[in-house]
């Protein structure tokens, strides 16, 4: 929750059968007209981007959907030989499938598991028909990517049907041709007369060709989110996911698959991002035939979704990108897609105000005058937005400590006798926020499973946001505050995982309820800048970005750890979406002492830059740096929030991590360059830039001018002094 500053400055996821049968169309048949990147030729389909092709067809014999190619752009399909069937695995288990169902001889991980009224879990989805749709329909109740202009995106819907169970599956594929991004979701409809239960549903499932792959994921825990892990994909299943009810600190709903020799800047890379904030599952399996199956979707441990006759379940959508320019290439595609076609907030590509957050400076120890003084001092230093963190609410159970008050979202009268809109926030209080009762007392509103103990984390329970009355209560409470104060920024925090639930379906129903709350509030208050948070990056996913353009990246503000977390998080999420703050030293989480300038430079790499400290605790020399850092932040923030990111040196590989941000038009850039350990008697390496125009000339820090070719092929050289030294270098096309 934030208050406007007291100045005029504005504030603010069969046994033996050998055959050689043509299963795909001939090259000549491929010459079909394209609709916005979608080419349909009979029952062969291609989604073509500027540099990517995703091709599949209907097996004429079986009606199964068979993948032909997902990789670099091709304009035709080389006919596929029928698999050699020897042994126990039938043909269906030896091909690359688009929608692997269960019980018919494909022994790899299925994308769907439907339990029928009779108890069968066999399913037999065959092609029924297809449609091509201009643009892209939104998903009911779920966050989804969207087009802005004609030609941004085209959609192909393939209708599959199981004749035996009368269950339909619609696979919706959309292609954003300029961004080499393919998006898929699945809708299951019960067209039968009995009830069925969906026990597994993957949003995206693809079988990549025979060959070796490495997989990349982001793992972590509280205060060490976004740690990049790369490992070989081996035979059998390997995967990860979340059963926390949220995307979680532990694993992120992102999967990278790369060729073994792919690097940050070279080689084939595939990226998958699930647009979902709840429990998810990522399965990667290399089968007996050497294909690698990758799938992302709802976590089956948290899914048991009943569908009565005529009812449907829609999966979240999942984005897949492909680049021949390494892992960095995939990241830049995600960033552009998310900034322009996922984030709905008007602040998505707007420069963000430099802020000061009260948490690490004051924790719960404050009242109105202490907040006023901190806000006043922040304003004098040039800070534009004051964020009042935890501790402002609750009267019956005041939240002056972390074991009371949650859900009682009324300003605490002792701390704020004048409410959340005292005169110094420049907004008259017209109506006091009210709500009927303290949530902490409403036991049926807290998630629980019968008489099982309600296990606490941080002395907290979780409100059951699957219940419409809880959704309405949150919407009303927040609307009261946002409608009656000058609050222009909301940090939406969530500090524990979901434990006991009344049923498995509640996990997904909770998420649908939460999305309804987010959507209603951001639509009602479009001028409020919302920041997501869940004990740091516990809910940093593509789903949340639809509503909140930024997320607090980690509770670990130690600048060294932050380089790892921010570089890791940037594998999929745009820098614009990362909140990053400068805090005091020794750091509260790690005890490490790092100079103020290095701490500031690391935080400046995040789209929402700020301070999280009481300036009174800084040395005079450090405090004196603040106005200059704010000036720099304001100069470079437009490039950070809208630019492309090039990770030049990775912290896991180099003592000199470096990142270059370039504006979308390529005219301006900002280079961040760090020395971690002090070295003695070592050479000073050149740092080679990337992403520049070789023929253009660039001025470096307003002085020397070099060609893009020189900067990319030879590079720049800087000398560092001691450990934790850093440089910020401005680059501009001459
Ligand atoms: C966890 C968040 O990540 C912190 O930034 C802070 O808001 C605390 N919660 C407050 O309780």
- The residue whose two tokens read 């169309």 is 25
Q: Determine the residue of 249, 357, 389 to mutate for testing ligand 1's pocket, defined as the one with the most ligand atoms within 8 A of the Cβ atom.
A: 389
Report d(CA 587, CA 582) in Å as an integer. Answer: 10
Interacting residues of 3 by C-beta distance below 8 A, sequence separation 6+: 11, 371, 375, 386, 388, 420, 425, 485, 486, 487
Pocket of ligand 1 (CB under 6 A): 359, 389-390, 493, 495, 533, 535-536, 552, 555
Report d(CA 351, CA 70) in Å as an integer. Answer: 36
Q: Which DSSP symbol is given to 446?
A: B
- The residue whose two tokens read 């009682």 is 408
- The residue whose two tokens read 């070592």 is 682
Instruction: Quote the ligand 1 centre to 462 CA distance (angstroms).
Output: 16
Instruction: Quote the ligand 1 centre to 390 CA distance (angstroms).
Output: 7
Instruction: Quote the ligand 1 centre to 388 CA distance (angstroms).
Output: 11
Q: Could you report the per-residue pLDDT of 330-387, keeping only the tens digit for each?
A: 999 999 999 999 999 999 999 999 999 999 999 999 999 999 999 999 999 999 999 9
Question: Is 693 one of the catalytic residues?
Answer: no
Q: Determine the residue of 358, 390, 402, 537 to mutate for testing ligand 1's pocket, defined as the one with the most ligand atoms within 8 A of the Cβ atom.
A: 390
Is the preceding peptide bond at 586 cis, omega within 30 degrees of 0? yes
Interacting residues of 244 by C-beta distance below 8 A, sequence separation 6+: 250, 279, 497, 498, 538
Q: What are phi and psi of 45, to 5 degrees?
A: -130, 140
Closest CA to 474 of 408, 569, 396: 408
Q: Could you report the per-residue pLDDT of 578-607, keeping only the tens digit for each?
A: 999 999 999 999 999 999 999 999 999 999
User: Catalytic residue among 101, 493, 556, 622, which?
Assistant: 493
Question: Is 614 one of the catalytic residues?
Answer: no
Instruction: Quote the ligand 1 centre to 724 CA distance (angstroms).
Output: 27
Q: Could you report the per-residue pLDDT of 233-253, keeping only the tens digit for each?
A: 999 999 999 999 999 999 999
Give the dihedral sign, CA 503/508/510/513.
negative
CATH number of 15-341: 2.70.98.60
Give a three-class secondary structure readout of 370-407.
Answer: HHHHHHHHHHHHCCCEEECCCCCECCCCCCCCCCCCCC
- Number of other CB atoms surrounding residue 252 within 10 Å: 31
Instruction: Quote the ligand 1 centre to 528 CA distance (angstroms).
Output: 20
- Number of other CB atoms surrounding residue 622 within 10 Å: 20
Instruction: Quote the ligand 1 centre to 611 CA distance (angstroms).
Output: 14
Q: What is the pTM of this model?
A: 0.94
Supply 526's token pair. Answer: 């479009």
Q: Which residue has the higher pLDDT, 422 or 560?
A: 560
Interacting residues of 482 by C-beta distance below 8 A, sequence separation 6+: 490, 521, 524, 525, 528
Residue 651's pLDDT band (cuts 50, 70, 90): very high
Q: Which residue has the higher pLDDT, 76 or 31?
A: 76
Instruction: Quote the ligand 1 centre to 609 CA distance (angstroms).
Output: 16
Q: Determine the residue of 362, 551, 555 to mutate for testing ligand 1's pocket, defined as the one with the most ligand atoms within 8 A of the Cβ atom.
A: 555
- pLDDT above 70 as % of the chain: 93
User: Catalytic residue among 555, 614, 622, 644, which?
Assistant: 555
Residue 663's pLDDT band (cuts 50, 70, 90): very high
The residue whose C-alpha atom lies closest to atom 10 belonging to ligand 1 is: 390
Report d(CA 79, CA 291) in Å as an integer. Answer: 18
Report the length, in residues, of the chain.
734
The residue whose C-alpha atom lies closest to atom 3 belonging to ligand 1 is: 535
- Give the dihedral of Cα atoms 223, 225, 230, 231; nearest 10 deg: 70
Q: Is residue 5's pLDDT more than 70?
A: no
Residue 405's pLDDT band (cuts 50, 70, 90): confident
The pLDDT, as a whole number, for residue 96 is 97
Taking the CA of residue 612 as reference, the ligand 1 atom at the shortest distance is 5
Q: Determine the residue of 387, 404, 552 to mutate for testing ligand 1's pocket, defined as the one with the most ligand atoms within 8 A of the Cβ atom.
A: 552
The residue whose C-alpha atom lies closest to atom 2 belonging to ligand 1 is: 535
Residue 194's pLDDT band (cuts 50, 70, 90): very high
């Amino acid at each position: 929750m934030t208050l406007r500053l007291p100045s005029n400055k504005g504030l603010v996821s069969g046994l033996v059968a050998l055959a050689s049968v043509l299963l795909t169309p001939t090259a000549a048949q491929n010459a079909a007209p394209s609709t916005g990147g979608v080419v349909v030729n009979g029952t062969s389909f291609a989604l073509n981007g500027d540099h990517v092709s995703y091709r599949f067809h209907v097996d004429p014999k079986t009606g199964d959907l068979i993948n032909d190619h997902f990789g670099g752009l091709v304009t035709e399909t080389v006919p596929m030989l029928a698999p050699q069937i020897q042994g126990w695995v039938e043909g269906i288990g030896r091909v690359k499938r688009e929608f692997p169902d269960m019980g018919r001889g494909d022994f790899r991980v299925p994308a769907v598991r439907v339990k029928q009224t009779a108890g069968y879990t066999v399913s037999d989805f065959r092609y029924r028909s297809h449609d091509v749709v201009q643009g892209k329909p939104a998903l009911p109740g779920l966050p989804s990517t969207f087009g802005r202009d004609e030609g941004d995106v085209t959609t192909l819907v393939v209708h599959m049907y199981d004749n035996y169970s009368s269950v339909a599956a619609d696979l919706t594929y959309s292609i954003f041709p300029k961004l080499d991004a393919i998006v898929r979701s699945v809708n299951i409809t019960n067209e039968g007369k009995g009830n069925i239960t969906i026990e597994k549903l993957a949003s995206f499932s693809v079988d990549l060709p025979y060959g070796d792959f490495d997989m990349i994921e982001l793992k972590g825990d509280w205060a060490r989110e976004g740690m990049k892990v790369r490992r070989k994909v081996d035979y059998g299943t390997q995967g990860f996911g979340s059963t926390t009810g949220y995307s979680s600190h532990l694993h992120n709903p992102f999967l990278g698959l790369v060729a073994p020799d792919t690097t940050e800047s070279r080689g084939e890379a595939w990226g998958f991002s699930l647009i979902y904030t709840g429990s998810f599952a990522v399965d990667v399996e290399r089968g007996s035939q050497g294909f690698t199956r990758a799938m992302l979707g709802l976590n089956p441990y948290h899914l048991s979704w009943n569908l009565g006759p005529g009812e449907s379940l829609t999966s979240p959508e999942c984005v897949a990108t492909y680049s021949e320019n390494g892992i960095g290439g995939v990241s830049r595609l995600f960033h552009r897609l998310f900034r322009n076609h996922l984030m709905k907030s008007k602040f998505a590509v707007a420069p963000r105000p430099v802020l000061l957050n009260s948490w690490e400076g004051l924790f719960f120890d404050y009242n109105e005058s202490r907040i006023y003084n901190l806000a006043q001092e922040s304003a004098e230093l040039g800070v534009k937005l004051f964020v009042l963190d935890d501790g402002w609410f609750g009267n019956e159970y005041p939240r002056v400590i972390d074991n009371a008050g949650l859900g009682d979202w009324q300003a605490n009268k002792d701390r704020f006798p004048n409410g959340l809109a005292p005169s110094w926030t420049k907004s008259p209080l017209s109506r006091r926020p009210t709500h009927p009762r303290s949530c902490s007392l409403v036991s049926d509103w807290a998630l629980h499973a019968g008489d099982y103990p309600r296990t606490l984390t941080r002395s907290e329970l979780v409100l059951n946001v699957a219940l419409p009355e809880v959704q309405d209560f949150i919407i009303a409470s927040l609307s009261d505050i946002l409608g009656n104060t000058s609050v222009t920024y909301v940090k939406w925090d969530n500090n524990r995982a979901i434990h006991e639930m009344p049923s498995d379906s509640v996990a997904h129903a909770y998420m649908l309820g939460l999305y309804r709350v987010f959507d209603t509030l951001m639509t009602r208050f479009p001028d409020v800048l919302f920041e997501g948070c869940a004990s740091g990056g516990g809910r940093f996913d593509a789903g949340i970005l639809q509503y909140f353009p930024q997320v607090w990246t980690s509770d670990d503000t130690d600048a060294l750890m932050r380089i790892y977390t921010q570089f890791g998080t940037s594998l999929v999420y745009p820098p614009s979406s990362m909140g990053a703050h400068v805090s005091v030293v020794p750091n509260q989480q790690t005890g490490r002492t790092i100079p103020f300038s290095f701490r500031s430079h690391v935080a400046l790499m995040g789209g929402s830059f700020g301070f999280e400290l009481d300036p009174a605790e800084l040395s005079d020399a450090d405090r004196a740096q603040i106005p200059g850092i704010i000036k720099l932040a304001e100069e470079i923030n437009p490039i950070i929030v809208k630019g492309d990111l090039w990770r030049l040196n990775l912290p896991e590989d180099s003592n000199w991590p470096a990142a270059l941000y370039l504006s979308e038009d390529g005219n301006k850039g900002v280079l961040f360059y760090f020395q971690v350990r002090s070295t003695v008697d070592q050479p000073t390496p050149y740092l080679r830039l990337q992403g520049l125009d070789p023929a253009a000339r660039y001025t470096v820090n307003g002085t020397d001018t070099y060609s893009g070719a020189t900067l990319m092929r030879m590079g720049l050289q800087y000398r560092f002094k001691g450990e934790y030294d850093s440089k910020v270098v401005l680059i501009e096309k001459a």
